[in-house]
Amino acid sequence: MTIKPLADRVLVLPAPAEEKTIGGIIIPDSAKEKPLKGQVIAIGNGTKDEEMVVKPGDTVLYGKYAGTEIELDGEKYLIMRQSDILAIL
């Protein structure tokens, strides 16, 4: 898959929500929290005001409402601005 985010955008593959069990009971999928962790897949060239500091392969933390969801080849990604990324793990 070749995709080039524009400007200061970053394509992120969200990490699957961690399954939590309480007393052996697996919480079903709909009750899981939306993932806040993901892997950088592709980055833009940055802008005059925003130099890119994340790199493909980085694991990043981002806010719950960051980015736009897009589907590519049956996989769900997020495309967000670098300024929506809180930290690199």
Residues engaged in binding a second copy (CB under 8 A): 2-7, 9, 11, 36, 42, 45, 48-49, 53-54, 61, 63, 68, 70, 79, 82-83, 85-89
Contact 82/10 with Cβ under 8 angstroms? yes
User: CB of 24: closest distance to a second copy in angstroms?
Assistant: 20
**Which of 3/26 has CB closer to a second copy?**
3
Can you tell me the distance from the alpha carbon of 79 to that of 54, in angstroms, rounded to the nearest whole number?
A: 14
User: CB of 19: closest distance to a second copy in angstroms?
Assistant: 15
Residue 84 φ then ψ, to 5°: -85, -10
**Which of 22/89 has CB closer to a second copy?**
89
